Structure 1
Amino acid sequence: MSTEKVVSKKRKRDESLEARFELAGSGSGRVGPVLVSFPALEPPSSTAFKCYAQKRAKTAKDAPDEDDMLVAGETPAVEFVSNEIESRKVAAAGCRYLLAVRSKKTNTISIFPSAKTPHILAHTVKALKSIPSSAAPSKVQYLEAKTALGETFGTKKQKASIRAQERNRIDVSAMEGVMSYVMDSIEKGAGNLLTTEDTKEAADKNRLIPPFSATATDPADIYPLHNIIPEAEWKALSVSAFDVAETDKDKIALLAYRKSTWINDRLKALVNTEGKTKKRNLKILLYISAMLSFRQATFLKGLDRDNLYERLAAVPTIVVDSLLSRFAETARASSSYQATSTTKTNLLTHILALCLKVDNYATNTKVIAHDLSMPVTEVNQLFKSLGCKITKLGERERARLGLAGSSAEEKHDVLNAPVEFPKPRLKRK
């Protein structure tokens, strides 16, 4: 055979293998090929499948939507139906395929213009359709089966946990006969519980603050003066020596505690006041200085009465005895006094209540905190326990207190009437 004949035959064979591509047209009422997936059981290749669509209106001319179709087929033993829920999940995941069909006669490959989503087929065994489905186990049955499995195949730790749960389990049926007695005992016990008003009254009594009036409409009446300074001590306080003193230095020397900037500033400002207000504030400042000197003495482990008399020589002995009885405690089998955290807090709130009276119930705590050698935040908490609110003063309030305009940005602890104490904070769960 010549080479020319071989070449010609090869060329004819190559021409027969050439394929043509075309875009398939979607005719009216035609669905075209459908893509399916068999996750579990695959039917024989000879199994016939059909597509079913929902009933459409007679006026609808478009082909049915492929997403609304059902693909179904069957063999002598198994039925196959598309699972709509799983098919929609696959479509939502973006799983789509572009299909093409090749014609062997014309050697033409028709490409379908729209991408298709596979139908996920579920199968049902025909022989099992007549058997009713078993009901879901109850919670008790589930726990019993779980316990049986744990006791049979569990580890030592799991078996010990199962036995512990069985020991702690309460038999409700055994409680049926005694429930009436339990409810009666609960009702009897609830009768002795405190009401809301009783609880509030008990909480107010246990506050580490001076005795107060919850119904007072004037800040001056919330903490009566003689509830802080007993009337006998008030009468025993003498301020005649301050009238004789000529200079501020001489007046400060008459105080029991001379290192308080707040007291010294208020003492100097009393020069411009006259009458009962001056005498009243002088007595309060003298008493505050005695309380500060007493507080300084409480830093020692033991309080000796004679040493306190020497330290507080500027005040009557009745004041020293009162401070010891109210703000100190005696140890067992001992005559010496000692201060506790409760008595120290109580002493500080009494001091701050007197400071509010001198400052017309609006006090800047920075100077007081410096005198007490305490952080401003802790002093503010003590003022809050007295019912004060931390706020900036307005122009009218600054004018009433005689404060300069530069103090507009400074915060003050203000006592308003009626008094409102801070509510206890609830712990987070």
Structure 2
Amino acid sequence: MKKMKVGTEDAVIKVIRGNPERMAPLVGYFPSGFDPDPNSTNVGVFRHKQRGGTRLQLVVTPENEAKVDFVATSYAGEAQAGEYCSYGLGIFDKATRTLKIVPIANNKVFRLEPKVQGIDSSNENEKPASSVIGELSEHEKAEKRIQLHNLYGTKKSIRKNKKMQMLKRENDPDAHNDLDVIKQCMTTTEDLLEASEGHMVRNTPPFNASATTPQEAYPLDKIISTGEWKFLQDIHKPLKGESELPQFVRNRIHKLQQIEDEDKKNKLTCIFSYIMHLIKFNDLHSKERQGISSEKASSAKAHRFPGIIRDKFASMFDAESGSLSTEKRNLLISYVLVLTLFADEFQISLTDIATDLRMKSPDLRKHYEALGCKVSKKNNLLTVTLPVPLQFPSLKRKRSNR
């Protein structure tokens, strides 16, 4: 909650986060200049039954003699252009001097086009005549989205977006297909939306809530992108030397010698490497108040990060200020914990990773449970498993001070 001036008024800003269990507002506008009368205008939102309810149609009908409906859809026109952009709606209450910023549902901005009543406009393949997308290719659509983001995004988000574009150009051609790989990991459109919005609300890595196996619950290709794998394989030899390794990795190095399949061995090596980079990054951006020893601090300072991974972590965890916020540190911990599940085949104890993250077992247990894990006692040790489909604990809302 922040204070600022809105025009000549002093106002308090409240940012309302999205809730995956509730639909956020839809935003529609009239390019024709039509000014609707709230007292004599009917508004309806319709879902497509055969498409699982993911396609929406917004219809505005003025009560007059014109016999015209204003119609917009979520699968064509401007709503489709904003598919990968994030927008918010600001509502200023003069009585309480409060500016509330709420997310727009699935980033849907509807361009309401006039349609004569009685003419069937329900054909899914029909595109509005003045659609801003038209018959563009996927590459052209992506370019349009980037231009839109550069025009209306924040300076910080534009800077991050440019950095990610540079990383994609620097890496092998497969890195350009990251977005396609991410989409293919999801089984349904609903899963894609839940992973793109729900994981931000829960502060977790992207997930697939309807997964039938633990491996699919947190798709590994969404945690370690295509272009990063080859930079992780380069440190295979240092891992064998067990130099400056986190305790979690050091206690499991012997697993690599037991694996005969080279692909499986390289995959586990990369997971160990990524866990090490995350823990070193956490140590590097921790302050004395978080209990880090001088030995760990110097080890983290001397640690060599591959450029692509260092830049990704700096962007993803907002580390430009030098230290991590509580929210971003919790997100980093979530990434570490998900990878530990992969490393131990989804049955893991808390002891060594708690030491690496400088956390007490009860706090670490809460983090695992927030990821949908089940923690139980086995042979006097706390054991973590990941049942599927994922079941998350309900999110607690902060009480507002009245």
In the superposition, the TM-score normalised over structure 1's length comes to 0.43
In the superposition, the TM-score normalised over structure 2's length comes to 0.45
Which structure: greater helix fraction? Answer: 1
Greater C-alpha radius of gyration: 1
Which structure: greater strand fraction? Answer: 2
